[in-house]
Structures are given as C-alpha cells and as structure tokens.
Amino acid sequence: MHKNNEFYVCRVCGAEQPEAPWGDDGETPTYDICNCCGVEFGYEDSTVQSIKKYKAKWLDSGAKWMNKKSEPQNWSVDEQLAHIPLKYRWF
C-alpha cells in the first residue's frame, strides 16, 4: 500500500490505485477508471450520494472485478472495503 493510503484508494470499493484518483490534494480527480469496481473518478464518485449509489450497484451485482487480470489472489471484498477512507465509509 502507498504511504498515504487515503489518497490512493477508490472511494467506492477500497481498491488501491497506482495514482491518487483525486490527486495528491484529494480534490483534483484524474477521471481514470477503477480496475475493480469500474467507477470513473471525479464523475461517479463526486458526491456522497453518488458513491453510495455506485457502491450499492457494484455490491448488488456481485462485487466482481471489472478487470479480472488485476484481481489479487485470495481477494476479499470485506478486507478491501475496510480500506475506504472513513469519511466515505458510512455503512
């Protein structure tokens, strides 16, 4: 994991990202796509409501990795969700 984990994880699914999805300031989105849940940073995760909606959709569809090649061995959705920064983890 990166030194400052909060800036390098998806706000929806908690997957670690190679670059900070919302920039090093936490406010400048890259508009990249998460390899795990498929959210577009800065678009589908721009508000608490949009994060909640996208996360529910992803979990309801089985919480599958969008890019199967990126899925870690022995992956656990529960462990990954625990990496979401506290201010975006409301349930």
- Per-residue model confidence as pLDDT tens digits over 30-51: 999 999 999 999 999 999 999 9
Share of the chain above pLDDT 90, in %: 80
Q: Rounded to whole angstroms, how far apart are CA atoms 86 and 40?
A: 20
Q: Which tokens belong to 68?
A: 């199967």
Report the number of distinct structural domains present in the chain. Answer: 1
Phi and psi torsions of 40, nearest 5° = -95, 115
Residue indicated by tokens 């030194």: 3
Q: Rounded to whole angstroms, how far apart are CA atoms 26 and 6?
A: 9
With bands split at pLDDT 50, 70 and 90, how would you rate the model's confidence at 6? confident
What residue numbers bound the domain in which 67 lies?
Answer: 1-90
- Per-residue model confidence as pLDDT tens digits over 50-61: 999 999 999 999
Mean pLDDT, residues 9-38 taken together = 95
Coil/strand/helix, residue 79: helix
